[in-house]
Amino acid sequence: MLVKVIRNVLGYSIAAVDVATRGRGMKRSPEAQAAVDAELQQLALYQFTACPFCIKTRRAMHKLGLQVEKRDAMNNAEARQELEQQGGRIKVPCLRIQKPGKQDVWMYESKDIISYLQQRFG
């Protein structure tokens, strides 16, 4: 119980510092940003607010100027159930990549997610 409280306090503190210290995100022309935004409709990030790896992933998304839909797998029972049933396990961060006509890809490691986003949108 005490460990959980300490972890939450530290996690939310790190999340607050992250938001306060973020720089500007990548700037694109309005046309290029519209094209990126259209592609982002196929992505969703399952995450916990205070998870350090989720914070790292959100920070990278911010730097790339990406507004990916975020789903709170800790407090939203529906998102948590989707993550477990369709993704295979409750582990965050997890990027869901929907590909029309194909099976969804569930990417679990923050390092892999950031690398994928940098290659695709960087």
pLDDT for the residue 4: 77
Task: Give the chain's end-to-end CA distance (angstroms, integer).
Answer: 41
Is 19 a residue whose pLDDT tops 90?
no
pLDDT for the residue 113: 98
Of 70, 66, 60, residue with least CA distance to 37: 66
Ordered structural domains, the chain, with CATH: 2-21+31-121 (3.40.30.10)
Contact 55, 65 (CB under 8 A): no
CA–CA dist 108, 121 (Å, integer): 19
pLDDT for the residue 104: 94
User: Which pTM does this prediction carry?
Assistant: 0.87
Helix axes 30-40, 110-121, angle to 10 degrees: 140
pLDDT for the residue 34: 92
**Antiparallel, parallel or unpaired: β 43-47 and 94-97:** antiparallel
* Structure confidence by residue, pLDDT tens digits, 55-110: 999 999 999 999 999 999 999 999 999 999 999 999 999 999 998 888 999 999 99
Is 11 a residue whose pLDDT tops 80?
no
DSSP 74-91: TT-HHHHHHIIIIISS--
Question: Residues 9-27: what's their mean pLDDT?
Answer: 79
CB count within 10 Å of CB 39 equals 11
Helix segments in the chain, DSSP class H: 2-21, 30-40, 52-63, 77-82, 110-121
